[in-house]
């Protein structure tokens, strides 16, 4: 079935639909290398044989049951130092889309950009940027959303899917469409330069915000857990946590959530 995206201005208007591919992000890299890419191109696959996750992890999903796609954006307006705002916009777009489709779900963003329902991961994002001078040149925004899959690799800590969380009728194509509409909306906010609006909305979805929970700080030691409360993500993209002995800010990888 061929996919047609409605209600976006440019995202997904040019869409490459593949049955099987190693990774839509890899395909997007090759596409950019060999073509003049159109802003908002979407590459979607029914099945990825070598899907990639963050930090060299693999993203393994069953054929035909999930959404695995990449958007090629050309954010030439965005300074490379502000690239995290693109990550925030994408996380927000996915969250707004899920919230619209399933208003009852407890959708959260786990900093920096995992999408959670309650305390389980439903989607992951892998953004790969290329830079020209101080600015971004192209961004491959890879998104994996678990939709109809109900069994996962037991090694994964806390996966879930939309079907597991919400038993009603779910159409892959409808969800894709809503998510692309919402991602594009946030991308346009980013393009307008309204960074503070993005940050504020992102913080509203922030997983564990204001809740007392345990964290590990690898630079201090890997055995001890520290109890703290997330205050929010700051303008520099750092996560701020309140501990007994005061507030601390962390770059990604400087702090680990105890799930």
Q: What is the nearest approach in angstroms of ligand BTN to the Cβ of residue 44?
A: 9
- CA 221: distance to chain centroid? 29
The first and second tokens of residue 74, run together, are: 């050309």
Per CB under 6 A, the list member of 8, 11, 12, 24 interacting with ligand BTN is 24
Q: Which stretch binds ligand BTN (CB under 6 A): 52-60, 93-101, 171-179, 187-195?
A: 52-60
Cβ distance 31 to 15 under 8 Å?
no
Q: What is the nearest approach in angstroms of ligand BTN to the Cβ of residue 42?
A: 11
The counts of H helices and E strands in the chain are 5, 12
The answer to the question of residue 144 lying near ligand BTN (CB under 6 A) is: yes
Per CB under 6 A, the list member of 11, 41, 68, 139 interacting with ligand BTN is 68
Q: How many residues make contact with ligand BTN (CB under 6 A)?
A: 20
The closest residue (CB) to ligand BTN is: 124
Cβ distance 228 to 245 under 8 Å?
no
Among the residues of the chain, which ranges form H helices?
Answer: 24-34, 83-101, 162-165, 172-191, 195-204
The answer to the question of residue 125 lying near ligand BTN (CB under 6 A) is: yes
The answer to the question of residue 52 lying near ligand BTN (CB under 6 A) is: yes
Closer CB to ligand BTN, 72 or 228, in the complex: 72
CA distance 189 to 256: 30
The answer to the question of residue 143 lying near ligand BTN (CB under 6 A) is: yes
The answer to the question of residue 70 lying near ligand BTN (CB under 6 A) is: yes
Closer CB to ligand BTN, 112 or 228, in the complex: 112
Of 132, 111, 117, give the one whose Cα is nearest residue 241: 111
The answer to the question of residue 53 lying near ligand BTN (CB under 6 A) is: yes
CA distance 20 to 49: 7
Per CB under 6 A, the list member of 124, 159, 228, 237 interacting with ligand BTN is 124
The answer to the question of residue 59 lying near ligand BTN (CB under 6 A) is: yes
Query: What are the residues binding ligand BTN (CB under 6 A)?
Result: 23-25, 48, 51-54, 57, 59, 68-70, 114, 124-126, 142-144
């Amino acid at each position: 079935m061929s996919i047609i995206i409605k209600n976006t201005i440019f995202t997904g208007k040019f869409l490459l639909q593949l049955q099987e591919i190693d990774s839509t992000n890899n395909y997007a890299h090759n596409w950019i290398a060999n073509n003049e890419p159109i802003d908002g191109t979407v590459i979607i696959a029914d099945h990825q044989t070598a899907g990639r996750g963050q930090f060299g992890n693999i993203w393994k999903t069953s054929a035909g049951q999930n959404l695995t796609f990449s958007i090629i954006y050309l954010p030439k307006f965005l300074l490379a130092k502000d690239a995290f705002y693109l990550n925030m916009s994408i996380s927000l777009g996915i969250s707004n889309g899920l919230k619209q489709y399933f208003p009852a779900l407890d959708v959260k963003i786990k900093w920096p950009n995992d999408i959670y329902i309650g305390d389980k991961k439903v989607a992951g994002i892998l953004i790969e940027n290329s830079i020209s001078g101080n600015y971004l040149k192209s961004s491959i925004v890879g998104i994996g959303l678990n939709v109809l899959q109900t069994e996962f690799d037991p090694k994964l800590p806390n996966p879930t899917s939309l079907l597991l969380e919400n038993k009603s009728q779910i159409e892959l194509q409808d969800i894709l469409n809503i998510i692309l509409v919402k991602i594009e909306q946030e991308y346009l906010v980013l393009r307008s330069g309204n960074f503070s609006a993005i940050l504020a909305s992102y913080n509203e979805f922030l997983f564990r915000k204001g809740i007392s929970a345990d964290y590990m700080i690898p630079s201090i030691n890997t055995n001890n857990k520290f109890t703290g409360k997330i205050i929010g993500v700051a303008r520099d993209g750092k996560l701020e946590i309140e501990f007994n002995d005061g507030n601390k800010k962390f770059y990604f990888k400087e702090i680990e959530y105890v799930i």
